Amino acid sequence: MKNERRGPLTGLKIVEFAGIGPAPFCASLLADMGADVIRIDRADQAGNPPDLLTRGRRSVALNLKDPASIEVCLALLERADALIEGFRPGVMERLGLGPDVVLARNPKLAYGRMTGWGQTGPLAQTAGHDINYIALSGALAAIGTQEQPVPPLNLAGDFGGGSLYLGLGLLAAVLHARQTGCGQVIDCSMVEGAASLMGLYYEFHAAGQWGERATNLLDGGAHFYVPYRCADGKWICIGAIEPQFYALLIEKLGLASSVDLAKQNDPAEWPAMKAKLAELIATRTRDEWCRLLEGTDACVAPILDLAEAPLHPHNLARGTFVEIDGQLQPGVAPRFSATPGQAGRKPACVGADSEAVLAEWGIPERAIAQVKVSPRPQR
């Protein structure tokens, strides 16, 4: 029985080489939108439990040091629209799966390469992680307190500057290939993706409108765009940038008679106003403030933890989170009116779909027999 999929990318066939972080998350997003993404896992890991980021894909276990397995990979890639890999530069070439070889077999392929530093440059062969890549982009220096930078989880490099840019690049290359018949390589660097995300702030900096960290409009410097601690130790955040929203906030906080609205955007006023609001917000619980302010144009929201967010009425109404095999997780984003995506099945154990996928993709039985992998016993 064929793998049933739905979404705007239904019919798109992608081969993903197992990795960590941004490449598998990109593959997961594309699978949620209907793409048939086949993950090539290591044969010596066959039978292992699935990785957390492998939702919606099927797993084929192959030994990439075996010429017969490489030939099967090439046969799959001949039938694919796109490839995703996240190895260091040169690894795919050494395996015999580099762009020159693969594009010779399938000239229409979108060959997606995900790295931190990029395929070239002085650091290309150097190990690193999200924090290193966003440091080089300028993003890390702009995020945190006045005392020190604070890494924003691995959202700005791995997922924002990596996964999303790779997905955009792959789909653009697929469209180009369908129009011209010509595939190409997408060199996606997390440094460059994170730098791109920082474009607005580089504009501010060039115009002389960006100061030290945590002294600016959007980085916690402004008293009307910052989190505040409540009486119960929980937090709310305020984002009342526009003057009409700020005026409403001040009115609802009972400060209309003591605050000069004309001085909202005067940075000299921000520290004193922040202290004033912090003292006031600390007098009530988060729920009390939400009853007063949430759902109004004062631009206030509760800061929810990972247990609370799925239970918020707005998220419940929208179905923002879904349950898959008993596990609550984020649903598909974005949403499509005519071709809605579907949160894929739970991650497959390594190699669980090897024979079924190879047969479905039209790989000859003799080739399948040559690379058949038995799951290794689990301890």
Whole-angstrom Cα distance, residue 113 to residue 93?
A: 12
CATH superfamily ID and name for 13-197+322-370: Crotonobetainyl-coa:carnitine coa-transferase; domain 1 (3.40.50.10540)
pLDDT of residue 150: 97
Task: Give the H/E segment covering residue 59.
Answer: strand 58-62
Look at the alpha carbons of 195, 200, 205, 210 in this order and tell me if their dihedral is positive or negative. Answer: negative
Q: How many CB atoms lie within 10 A of CB 186?
A: 22
Classified as helix, coil or strand, 57 is coil
H-state helical runs in the chain: 22-32, 67-78, 91-95, 99-105, 130-137, 164-180, 190-197, 199-206, 243-252, 270-281, 286-293, 313-318, 354-360, 365-370
Our answer to whether residue 158 is catalytic in this structure is: yes
Residue 327 confidence (pLDDT): 85
Mean of pLDDT values over 118-142 = 98
Q: What one-character DSSP code corresponds to residue 67?
A: H
Is 266 known to be catalytic?
no
Instruction: Give CATH for domain 225-229+235-302.
Output: 3.30.1540.10
* Domain range list for the chain: 13-197+322-370, 225-229+235-302
Q: pTM for this one?
A: 0.94
What does the pLDDT read at residue 77?
98
- The catalytic position among 129, 176, 205, 312 is 129
pLDDT per residue over 339-379, tens digit each? Answer: 999 887 777 888 888 999 999 999 999 898 888 765 554 44
Quickly count: other Cβ atoms within 10 Å of residue 331's Cβ: 17
pLDDT tens-digit readout, 52-72 = 788 899 999 999 999 999 999
User: Could you read off the pLDDT of 189-211 as tens digits, one per residue?
Assistant: 999 999 999 999 999 999 999 99
pLDDT in tens, 144-195: 999 999 999 999 999 999 999 999 999 999 999 999 999 999 999 999 999 9
- The more confident residue out of 328 and 348 is 328
Write down the pLDDT at residue 1: 37
Q: Which of 41, 158, 187, 353 is catalytic?
A: 158
Please check whether residue 45 is in contact with residue 350, taking contact to mean a CB–CB distance below 8 angstroms. yes
In this chain, the answer to whether the domains covering 13-197+322-370 and 225-229+235-302 adopt an identical fold is no
